[in-house]
Amino acid sequence: MAAEAAVKPWWRDTIETIIWAFVLAMIIRAFIVQAFWIPSGSMIPTLEIGDRVLVAKFWNWFAAPSRGSIYVFRYPVDKERDFVKRVIALPGDTVNISNGIVYINGDPLDEPYVKNHDTFTFRRSHVFPEIPFTIPEGKYLMLGDNRPNSQDGRFWGFVSDEDLRGPVFFRYWPLNRVGIPE
């Protein structure tokens, strides 16, 4: 006599499917990929207000951030908020900004992504007591592409490794701007 397989009721199968889908979505969001909405114009023209992007949260397990990449990170002043900016300086780099030009290790940084320039010059402050300054180990200087309209590392300092969410690797909205932001 062959044992008959028990058939689950449809409602139980549906509930199990929903639970597994939810668990899988939470794992993906926590460790692999997360969607973010761009709320400000600090990255114009690269990212515009209302753009929606995907961030590779796992990327930092395999590679350190590189200069010029766009990252989402926890805002150092309020860790409950996420910001998106471009990595400008890496640990060990010596940095200065004079008349809107960023100098890394004494050389001007080529920034073709900055379309809106300003005339910002670093001055000694409680955030930067020495000018030029060296980026500490495990820290990064992050700046917005829309310099005159960006609340960025020039004003609040560095972003630490543990606050990096991951690099922006794809813009999925709006449809006419879908692609890899550069």
CATH number at residue 159: 2.10.109.10
Q: Is 138 left (phi over 0), alpha (psi -120 to 50) or beta?
A: left
Is 74 contained in some domain?
yes
For each successive 10 residues of the chain (182 residues), what is the average pLDDT?
Answer: 69 81 70 85 95 88 91 94 96 95 96 93 86 96 95 94 94 91 86
Three-state DSSP at 41 gives: coil
Is 171 contained in some domain?
yes
Q: Can you name the residues that pair with 107 across neighbouring β-strands?
A: 104
Is 44 contained in some domain?
yes
Tokens 């926590």 sit on residue? 30
Is 76 contained in some domain?
yes
Q: Where are the beta strands (DSSP E) in 3-115?
A: 33-37, 52-56, 70-74, 82-89, 94-98, 101-104, 107-108
DSSP-based helix, strand, coil % in the chain, nearest 5:
20, 30, 50
Radius of gyration for the chain, computed over Cα atoms and rounded to the nearest angstrom: 22
Is 28 contained in some domain?
no
Is 21 contained in some domain?
no
Which two three-digit tokens encode residue 56?
């590779």
Annotated active-site residue 85? The verdict is yes
Annotated active-site residue 66? The verdict is no
Which two three-digit tokens encode residue 103?
């100098």
Is 8 contained in some domain?
no
Number of structural domains found in the chain: 1
Residue 34: phi and psi, rounded to 5, are -135, 145
Q: Can you name the residues that pair with 167 across neighbouring β-strands?
A: 71
Q: Which domain range does residue 169 map to?
A: 35-177
Res 127: pLDDT: 84
CA dist 158 and 135 (Å) reads: 8
Out of 42, 57, 139, 150, which one is annotated catalytic?
Answer: 42
Q: Considering only CA atoms, which of 48, 55, 91 is closest in space to residue 73?
A: 55
Tokens 């900004």 sit on residue? 97
**Confidence (pTM):** 0.82
Out of 8, 40, 66, 85, which one is annotated catalytic?
Answer: 85
